[in-house]
Amino acid sequence: MSADEPTRLSDDEYVEAVRSEGGRIADLAERSGLSTPVPTCPGFDIAGLVGHLGRIQRWATIMIADGRTTPVGSEERRRRVGASPKGPEVLPWFREGLARLVDTLHAAPLDLEVWSFLPAPTPRGFWIRRMAHEVLIHRADVELAVGAPIVIEPRLAADGIDELLTAWVVDPATGPHFERAATLLVQPDDADARWLASLGPDGARTSRGVGAADCTISGPAGALDLMLWNRRAPGMVDISGDAAVIDAWAAAVRI
């Protein structure tokens, strides 16, 4: 592994992130109220976001527990996942589904064969990583909604940046496209990792490392992770070079 590649978390660390980040969401929702709008998820209040995440986690649990090699169809998904409860009942429902997902992730065999939709060393590795960052970003959504401080452990944040830049945005089928060609260098100052993303009309390509770039962003890994997921204004990080690259990123990357 090069010095520019983030150290991947252990399987247990990913699963613990799912448990702890999900628990923080439920605790925040319980304290702050379910009717608070979530500006970073337009159309959702906290209850709706908790329900959305709960359905995703139940869907993932089905995929992993059943060892599904094709996606769960919409009819089966409606039947087995169902709708999230309305009002305060959504919180115990969410906590129950979270606990079930954590148990399922822990129990999943290393050689699990299951459908996945982003590149990863193994199918099991995909799911434990994806679920960790899914719940992390939505925890930030809730904290932004209620004005709570956001703290992300640098290794987890750097891994989130890596997943976004080396898996999500480079996907030829679903990745974003940019009106003009540009390069973006991402440099956290609290993690030994760097990424150089080449953006253009044909999509994005990312390499781990440094190089000449039209725009460079630097700062804490947590702030960079949030900015690249369009969860925080660019003012939270240092930008040098062509700031229009960041505007183009914000317009094109919607996950």
pLDDT score of 255: 80
pLDDT score of 1: 46
pLDDT score of 122: 95
| Residue 110, amino acid | L
State which residues of the chain have pLDDT below 50: 1
| Residue 20, amino acid | S
pLDDT score of 191: 94
pLDDT score of 74: 85
pTM value is 0.94
DSSP states along 168-234: ITT-TTT----SS-EEEEEEESSSS--EEEEEETTEEEEEES----SEEEEE-HHHHHHHHTT-S-G
pLDDT score of 3: 57
pLDDT score of 254: 85
